[in-house]
Amino acid sequence: MQDQFQIHSAAAGQDIALQQNRVLRNTYLLLGVSMAPTILGALIGVQTGFGLLPGRPFLSFLVFLGIAFAFFWGIERTKNSGWGVALLLGFTFFMGLMLSGILRAALGFSNGGTLIAMAAGGTGTIFLVLSSIAATTKRDFSFLGKFLFVGLILALVAMVANIFFMIPALSLALSGVCILIFSGYILYDINRIVHGGETNYITATLAVYLDIYNIFVHLLNILMALSGERD
């Protein structure tokens, strides 16, 4: 009887491990696919000069939040169907359009292409290192969740305030803080998949995509401020 219980327990543990590996594998696959609409949206945005409400940064920020949260709601509602994938890819296209603003600013520098490549390379390195740690360590990083969320809210409030004050030093400091916060979120989100805290690869992909996106944006912002060269 005890032997049967041990066999069933081992089989159950094996099934859980297989499911977690499947979620992680599908997350990485969908994450890779999601980069295509992001790049397409960014290219279209750069070419067309896309902007939600040019000259009205605060209102533009509110509209962006409204659209983003509408996507979040839709993805959550459809996360167990193909519509969830479609909405996620639609969201990444929209985020590509939103990315075009900072890309145009970067391309205004003579070394803009190099800055973008450095930001992409730095983001990729951060993701590869931290995701590898999160996926292989036995440590549970779930304790980071509350600290990261509080830090994110404080950073968001400071960013909204800086829309009005426009202090360059504060913008740089916030970018540094955001890189740390979203790097922490990579550890948290990947580790959460590995430990079974996230079982849906669509919502997992959304979380990790936002981590990578924000690290890239804030790293590019720092590089432009510190290394941007005018003709």
CB of 104 within 8 A of CB of 49?
yes
Residue with tokens 């929209």, as numbered in its chain: 94
Query: Is the pLDDT at 219 greater than 80, yes or no?
Result: yes
Q: What is the spatial distance between Cα 197 and Cα 190, in angstroms, rounded to a whole number?
A: 10
Mean pLDDT along residues 36-54: 93
Query: Is the pLDDT at 5 greater than 50, yes or no?
Result: no
Q: What is the pLDDT of residue 3?
A: 52
pLDDT in tens, 69-118: 999 999 999 999 999 999 999 999 999 999 999 999 999 999 999 999 99
What CA–CA distances, in Å, run from 77 to 91, 127, 202, 206, 220? Answer: 14, 28, 11, 13, 33
pLDDT in tens, 115-136: 999 999 999 999 999 999 998 9
Q: What is the spatial distance between Cα 87 and Cα 71, in angstroms, rounded to a whole number?
A: 7
More confident residue, 1 or 162: 162
Q: What range defines the domain where residue 195 resides?
A: 2-227
User: How many structural domains comprise the chain?
Assistant: 1
Q: What is the pLDDT of residue 12?
A: 44
pLDDT in tens, 160-214: 898 888 888 999 999 999 999 999 999 999 999 998 888 899 999 999 999 999 9
Q: What is the pLDDT of residue 133?
A: 93
CB of 99 within 8 A of CB of 41?
yes
Q: pTM for the full model? A: 0.91
CB atoms within 10 A of CB 177: 17
Mean pLDDT along residues 140-157: 93
Query: Is the pLDDT at 10 greater than 50, yes or no?
Result: no
